[in-house]
């Protein structure tokens, strides 16, 4: 009887330990998923889908834009194409800042100060004519050397995005 109780106690202990380990693995997996979400840029966590087309801003972090209005409201979009739609739809509202994902690093940068590349052999987002932004002139030049295209200012890229949208 004592041996039976001892064996039952050992088996219960092993089962409990296995459950704790399994739970820790599941919890660890959950923690890993939470860490991945936490690693997403704050603007993507706030605006995960494009406000105009619904595309994933995380997937298109290299072309995403964040429009901040004078009243503090922010709108996240996937590309300069959708940014042009956003800006046109709210024409007359004060824009405090326009940020775009750097093509190489995906970090948000000031769209008006970025080195834009128009064209090239890399397929664009929401457009036939690709438009990419770079924080550094050297990165834009290196991209042009490898993929083609031409350097442009933000105004030219936005004008082209507006024209592309009317086709």
The string of pLDDT tens digits covering residues 63-117 is 999 999 999 999 999 999 999 999 999 998 999 999 999 999 999 999 999 999 9
pLDDT at 39: 66
- Predicted model pTM: 0.76
Q: What's the rounded Cα separation, in Å, for the pair 127 and 43?
A: 23
CA distance 32 to 100: 28
Please give the Cα distance from 45 to 67 (Å, whole number). Answer: 15
């Amino acid at each position: 009887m004592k041996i039976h109780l001892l064996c039952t106690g050992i088996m219960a202990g092993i089962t409990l330990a296995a459950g704790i380990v399994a739970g820790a693995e599941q919890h660890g997996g959950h923690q890993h998923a939470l860490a991945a979400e936490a690693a997403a840029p704050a603007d993507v966590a706030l605006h995960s889908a494009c406000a105009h087309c619904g595309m994933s801003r995380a997937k298109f972090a290299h072309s995403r834009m964040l429009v901040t209005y004078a009243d503090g409201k922010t709108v996240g979009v996937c590309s300069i194409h959708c940014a042009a739609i956003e800006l046109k739809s709210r024409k007359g509202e004060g824009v405090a800042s326009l940020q775009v994902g750097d093509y190489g690093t995906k970090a948000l940068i000031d769209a008006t100060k970025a080195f834009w590349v128009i064209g090239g052999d890399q397929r664009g987002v929401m457009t036939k004519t690709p438009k990419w932004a770079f924080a550094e002139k050297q990165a834009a030049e290196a991209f042009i050397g490898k993929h083609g295209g031409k350097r442009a200012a933000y105004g030219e890229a936005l004008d082209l995005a507006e024209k592309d949208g009317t086709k």
